[in-house]
Structures are given as structure tokens and as C-alpha cells.
């Protein structure tokens, strides 16, 4: 896996996101303070891992001898995983996990829907199946998003705190892939990641506005210098934005430039990944060739 074919770049981004976030969701099994949600996160985890497996199966075609699904899922070095950093963050609390699931699954919905237009038939076949199952994840995320946003205040605050903590890194789901140019040219990707990001941010911005939580896309006005406005009032300088690169233009949220929490698509991860990787791959590394 030194010189990766472009298609592998795309598959590993999709599959590793599902595997790693699926692993985080599975850590809720037995711990959610609500039986239905224990089942929900466990079931979503099970689905995500199955989706990763289908995509790894397709990835094997781009790899040489000696690779199999288990080795792809569990037998790589940390820097060979291409998941977005958002997916590897620890669960913290249920509000955080829920906010992350909402942002991830809405982003994944835009991504998989776009990729149905890919010229790569085998990929579109897998994504057709995947999207039928992801529909239930989206329904789960949106149901809880609206329910928590509707109060009581403590629930709303919990959701808002989760969104504030995750939204910056959620944008980096659409960090460009290393071989994006080739993928777009070949038709494997019908549009670049920036186009999918624009579609997602526009939609999710509207969903946040519907429940008046779009402020999570803005930073509180910085304390400091006051400048006179044309009307003579004193106002603080134009508010800077909390999420790097996000601006409001013509009534819609758009992204330009830098990402927070980028690097995942190039195999650069946070320190949180090390512990997750150790846990996820420990058995595979300790007992090579183990089957279960």
C-alpha cells in the first residue's frame, strides 16, 4: 500500500469512516441509559461495519496478493487508515455522540447520493444497498435532533454543546482526497468533494436554522476592539467565524479554504486514534490468522 491507486483512496475514505465510527457506536452497547438507544447505537454500529466490509471487498480488487477483508479492516498501520478525524473521537457523552451521528449521517447521505452518479458500476451497486439501510440511521438522527432541540432546556443545551464540539471536524469529512483529480477525471467521482461539501453545508445549515441552532456555525463575537459604524454607533469588529473557512454568503452557509481537523484522508490522525486502533486491532495483531 505504498502507491495507492486512486480508487483505493475513495474506497478507504468511505469504508474507514464506517468502520471507525461503527466502532465508536459499538462502545455504547450496554451503556446508553435508555434501552431503545442501546439497541439503536448497537444496530447502527452493526450496519456500519457491514457497509465497511462490502467496500473492503471491492477494495481487494485494487490490491495485490495477501490482502483479505480482515487484513484491510484490522491489519493496517494507523497511518494507513483514511477515516475522517471526526469518526475517531471518543464518545464523550450521548449528546456528543448523537450530534456526531446527525452530522456524519447527513454528510454521508450527500456523499453516497452523489456517488450513485459514479461511472463505477460496482461502487454504485454497493451504495444502492447501503443507502437503503442508512435511511434508518438518518431517521434516527433527525428524530433525536428535533426532539432534543425542542427542549427541555437541558436537552437543547446538551445537543448544542455536542454540535459545537463536532461541526468543525464534520466539515473535514469532505477534505479533498489525495487523488481527487484523477477520480473526478475518470468519472469515478461525479463531482469533487468541495461540491458535496457545499450541498451538505447548505442543507445542514438550513436544518440548524429550523431549530435556531445555526449559531454553532459562528463564533461568539470576540471581545476587544470596538470600531465606529457609519451610523456612529460603536460595534465590535466584524465577527469572526468559529469554524475555520465557514461564512454566510447570500443567506447560505459556504465553506472556503481551511478545514479544522483535516488530515484523515492522508492518514494523519489525532492522538485519540492510537487508543482506538490498539483496541480495534489488538486481537488481530496478537493472534495472526485468528478466525471468529
Partner 1 sequence: MVRGPDDLAAEVWKALARVHDPEIPPCSITELGIVEAVRVDAGAIAVDLRPTFAGCPALDVIREDCEAAVAAVASDREVRVRFVSSPPWTSDRITPAGRAALRTYGVTPPSTDEPRICPFCGSRNTVQESQFGPTLCRATHYCAACRNPFEVFKPKLISLTPRPAS
Q: Which of residues 51 and 255 has its CB atom nearest to partner 1 in the complex? A: 51
CB-based burial label for 292 (10 Å; 0-12, 13-18, 19+): exposed
Among 73, 126, 189, 243, binds partner 1 (CB under 8 A): 126
Residue that the C-alpha cell 500500500 belongs to = 1
Q: How far is the CB of 132 from partner 1 (least distance, A)?
A: 5
Closest by alpha carbon to 112, among 10, 198, 213, 43?
10
With CB under 8 A as the contact rule, which of the stretches 7-15, 70-78, 198-206, 282-290 interacts with partner 1?
198-206
Enumerate residues 21-80 that contact partner 1 by CB under 8 A: 36-37, 39-40, 42-44, 46-47, 49-51, 53-54
CB of 47 or CB of 164, closer to partner 1: 47
Q: d(Cα 13, Cα 266) in Å, to the nearest integer?
A: 9
Which burial class, exposed, middle or buried, applies to 89 when counting CB atoms under 10 A from its CB (0-12, 13-18, 19+)? buried
Choose, by CB under 8 A, the member of 93, 125, 237, 278 that binds partner 1: 125
> CB of 200: closest distance to partner 1 in angstroms?
11
3-state secondary structure of 102: helix
Cβ neighbours of residue 143 closer than 8 Å, sequence gap 6 or more: none
Output the smallest distance, CB 41 to partner 1, in A: 9
Would you list the DSSP string of 183-225?
A: HHHHTSSSS-HHHHHHHHHHHHHHHHHHTT-GGGGSPPPPSS-
Q: State the number of CA atoms in the 13 A half-sphere of 204 facing the CB.
A: 32
Q: Are 258 and 48 in contact (CB under 8 A)?
A: no
Residue 148 binding partner 1, by CB under 8 A: no
Nearer to partner 1, 288 or 292 (CB): 292
| Contact flag: residue 131 with partner 1 (CB under 8 A) | yes
Is 226 a residue that touches partner 1 (CB under 8 A)?
Answer: no
Interface residues with partner 1 (CB under 8 A) are 36-37, 39-40, 42-44, 46-47, 49-51, 53-54, 109, 113, 125-126, 128-136, 138-140, 143, 199, 203, 206
Amino acid at each position: 500500500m505504498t502507491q495507492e491507486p486512486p480508487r483505493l483512496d475513495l474506497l478507504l475514505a468511505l469504508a474507514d469512516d464506517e468502520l471507525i465510527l461503527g466502532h465508536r457506536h459499538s462502545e455504547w452497547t450496554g451503556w446508553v441509559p435508555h434501552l431503545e438507544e442501546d439497541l439503536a447505537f448497537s444496530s447502527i454500529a452493526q450496519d456500519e461495519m457491514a457497509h465497511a466490509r462490502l467496500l473492503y471487498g471491492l477494495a481487494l480488487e485494487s490490491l495485490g496478493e495477501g490482502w483479505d477483508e480482515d487484513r484491510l479492516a484490522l491489519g493496517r498501520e494507523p497511518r494507513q487508515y483514511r477515516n475522517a478525524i471526526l469518526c475517531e473521537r471518543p464518545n464523550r457523552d450521548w449528546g456528543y455522540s448523537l450530534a456526531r451521528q446527525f452530522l456524519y449521517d447527513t454528510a454521508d447521505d450527500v456523499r453516497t447520493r452523489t456517488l450513485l452518479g459514479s461511472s463505477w458500476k460496482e461502487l454504485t451497486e454497493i451504495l444502492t444497498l447501503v443507502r437503503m439501510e442508512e435511511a434508518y440511521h438518518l431517521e434516527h438522527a433527525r428524530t433525536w435532533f428535533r426532539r432534543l432541540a425542542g427542549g427541555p432546556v437541558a436537552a437543547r443545551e446538551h445537543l448544542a454543546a455536542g454540535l459545537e464540539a463536532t461541526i468543525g471536524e464534520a466539515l473535514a469529512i469532505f477534505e479533498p482526497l489525495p487523488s481527487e483529480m484523477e477520480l473526478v477525471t475518470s468519472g469515478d467521482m461525479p463531482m469533487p468533494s468541495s461540491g458535496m461539501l457545499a450541498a451538505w453545508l447548505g442543507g445542514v445549515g438550513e436544518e440548524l436554522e429550523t431549530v435556531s441552532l445555526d449559531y454553532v456555525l459562528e463564533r461568539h463575537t470576540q471581545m476587544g476592539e470596538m470600531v465606529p459604524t457609519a451610523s456612529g454607533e460603536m460595534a465590535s469588529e466584524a465577527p469572526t467565524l468559529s469554524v475555520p473557512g465557514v461564512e454566510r454568503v447570500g443567506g447560505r452557509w459556504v465553506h472556503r479554504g481551511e478545514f479544522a481537523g483535516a488530515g484523515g484522508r492522508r492518514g494523519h490522525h489525532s492522538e485519540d486514534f492510537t487508543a482506538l486502533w490498539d483496541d480495534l486491532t489488538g486481537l488481530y495483531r496478537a493472534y495472526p490468522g485468528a478466525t471468529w
